A and B are shown apart, each in its own frame.
Chain A
């Protein structure tokens, strides 16, 4: 029952897109350092990473919780991913960028099917 509901939940929203976007944000933060205290005294690099990562996570959650806004969320994820190449350790050593690019693209590519049911 739970699995069926989860399945339905996944199929009614761009689930992989949100997952990739959230994972991209988590990866960027993991590369910069997981201790939030490191934010307080840092210079240019770390706050940019935290900002981009937070935007990616918010965008990913938006894809899940508000599917009609997936285009905004997807575009935001793509732009954050591209900026992270410059501002955040080459996009978290490319892994974060690749996840963000995949997540944003999947969100832009998700479309409704007209009939009920998969």
Chain B
């Protein structure tokens, strides 16, 4: 796609043609109508993509070299597995937790990154309810209340781990390296950017009791 205005000057404005003077090209400006058109098309495409994510039609992937914090008010899962492994996000050893079908309410996810010029900034994603299938979370640290039924502690596929038929978690705080899911359907999504380090916290500050493990 080249400029079709037919006003090309002799300043090397051709594909592959060298520009003779780096600061000597023709002047330009932003065409507002084109900008509006391009923005509208992008917004429409993004709405389709985000709609598919929200409906669980496509999988969204979260990976962070900086561990992120997840807090969950309650999580009900059919099937649960936990074993030691390597985090896909950071390559550090972590506890890989598997949740074949999980219903989450009161999810909050946050990651703090040191942005250039701005300094530490926390990005927070919240959702009222989440329906996830084939969810795998690499956790470094978890605290909260865990209720398991038909728990088996022992060798699972070569490594010592835990698995159970279903699990009920209350007021869980996780430090995780990555979370991937087959489907991840969110309702009541909120997104927030805060200056400084302000990770997710449970309303009742329920960290530090119950189950504890660290990678």
Contact = CB atoms under 8 A, between A and B. Distances in A.
Interface of A: 5, 8-9, 11-14, 16, 26-27, 30-35, 38, 40-46, 48-49, 66-69, 71-72, 74, 78, 81-82, 85-90, 93-95, 97, 101-102, 104-106, 108-118
Interface residues of B, number: 57
Q: Main SS of chain B's interface residues?
A: mixed
A49 B28 CA distance: 32
Interface of B: 1-3, 5, 7, 13-15, 19, 22-32, 34-35, 37-39, 42-43, 45-46, 49-50, 53, 58-66, 86, 88-91, 111, 113-116, 123, 125, 178, 180, 191, 193
A43 B89 contact: yes
Q: Main SS of chain A's interface residues?
A: helix
Nearest to A94: B191
Nearest to B18: A66
Contacts of A38: 65, 89-91
A105 B191 CA distance: 23
Nearest to A49: B63
A97 B191 CA distance: 14
